[in-house]
Structures are given as C-alpha cells and as structure tokens.
Amino acid sequence: DGGITQSPKYLFRKEGQNVTLSCEQNLNHDAMYWYRQDPGQGLRLIYYSQIVNDFQKGDIAEGYSVSREKKESFPLTVTSAQKNPTAFYLCASSPTGRASGYTFGSGTRLTVV
Amino acid sequence: GENVEQHPSTLSVQEGDSAVIKCTYSDSASNYFPWYKQELGKGPQLIIDIRSNVGEKKDQRIAVTLNKTAKHFSLHITETQPEDSAVYFCAATPPTYQKVTFGTGTKLQVIP
C-alpha cells in the first residue's frame, strides 16, 4: 500500500544536540512538507519542497534544516539553534499541478531532556 | 497572504446529534478546501474536500458547503458517533501553488 512513513515515532534529544527526523513516501508525490504541532495548537509550516533538490522556508524555519535529494525522502534536522524543539512533527506529501489534499505521516514526538 | 479562521474551538454534542464547524477565508483566489480529522497522537487524515466550482458535497454522514461570495465553508456531521471525537482542521488552498493555510482546529467531543 502507498503511504508516508515517519520515523522514529518518539525521539529524545539532549540540549545542544542535532537530531534528524525521517520522512519517506511511496506515493510518487512531487511535493513534501514539514509541520510542527504544539499541544492544543494548529499546524505551523516549517519547510516545503515542490521538486527534488529544491525547498523553501515556511513560517517557522529558524533552527531547522532540510534536504530533498530524492523524490521519496524529505528528512528534517532539528538543530541546536532551535530553542524550544519539544513538539509533535508531521510530514506530509501531495501531488502538484492541481490542488489536492495532503497525505500525512503518523508523526514524530520530539522531547528535549 | 491567506488567513483562515475556524469556529468553534471546542464542540460537545450528544451522540446522534449533528455537529457543524465553520471556517472563513480571506483570499478570494483560494479554490480548494479540504477538511482533516486528527485523532489523538496521529497525523491528520483527509475526510472530505470541495472545490470552488461546487457548492456542496456529501459523503455518507459528512458534508461540506461552500459560499464563495461570503468566503466561508462549513463541515456538517450528522448522526454523530463516539468515534467522530477528534480534532478537525479546515484549510484553504490558492490555485498557483500547493501551500495550504490551515484553520486553528476544532476539538469535537461526542458524548455517548
């Protein structure tokens, strides 16, 4: 079955460490996105990519970095510059061309310890 | 840029009653309006969508209506069941690119 897979489901980070969240899709979607969700809050866009080797900053990109070397993969690195990284991170994908709904992954819960 | 407002933020209904969630948007160029359901600890799931050339769309117990003139759209859930309890997000999409603007979410609780 086609879908989008995020790993790990839970991740613990020490102060000052960089961590990378994985996002893989086999839906053949061109566009991929990273969102951050804080408890009881909505979805805030971190980065998005509409094509391989290209990506754009979203609304809260500071302290995060991404790469898009393959169509199927869009990893997110949470750097030590992100002062409050504890949150639920969601990856999504969609086809391009005609506006379509997103397919979301099941999320990664990141906690700073 | 686009701004989407969603109301109410929380909604409690008795099982079997109907639930209505409303959203307004600011960019008249937006032409695609999806609705997502997010269960606790999971990613949002697309449940229904509507395009700007359609006024209403139904799928079993859920329906979405769109008023382009007033720039608002609504989600209607009939005969609610406990498994409908979740957070629901509306969204608006402009035609030129894929960046979606989400509403702030509505937490629906269906009381058995």
Query: Which one is predicted more confidently, A84 or B109?
Result: B109
List, for residues B73-99, the tens digit of each pLDDT value.
999 999 999 999 999 999 999 876 667
A42 contact residues in B (CB cutoff 8 A): 89, 102-105
CB B32 within 8 A of CB A99: yes
| B44–A contact, CB cutoff 8 A | yes
From the list B66, B54, B98, B87, the residue with the least C-alpha distance to A101 is B98
Of B42, B95, B99, the CB nearest to A106: B42
Average pLDDT, chain B: 94
Q: Is A6 exposed, middle or buried (0-12, 13-18, 19+ CB in 10 A)?
A: buried
User: Can you give the pLDDT at residue A100?
Assistant: 84
Indicate the length of chain B as a whole number.
Answer: 112
Integer Cα distance of B52 and B55 in angstroms: 7
Chain B nearest-CA residue for A98: B95
User: Can you give the pLDDT at residue B23?
Assistant: 98
User: Can you give the pLDDT at residue B97?
Assistant: 62
User: Can you give the pLDDT at residue A99?
Assistant: 79
Q: Do A42 and B102 lie within an 8 Å CB cutoff?
A: yes
Q: Do A48 and B99 lie within an 8 Å CB cutoff?
A: yes
What is the DSSP annotation of B6-19? EE-SEEEEETTS-E
User: Can you give the pLDDT at residue A96?
Assistant: 83
Print pLDDT tens along chain A (113 aa). Answer: 679 999 999 999 898 899 999 999 999 999 999 999 998 788 999 999 999 999 999 999 999 999 999 999 999 999 988 889 999 999 999 988 777 889 999 999 999 88
Q: Do A101 and B103 lie within an 8 Å CB cutoff?
A: no
Chain B nearest-CA residue for A105: B43
Report the SS3 class of residue B96.
coil
| B101–A contact, CB cutoff 8 A | no
Terminal C-alpha separation, chain A: 36
Band (B57; pLDDT cuts 50, 70, 90) = very high
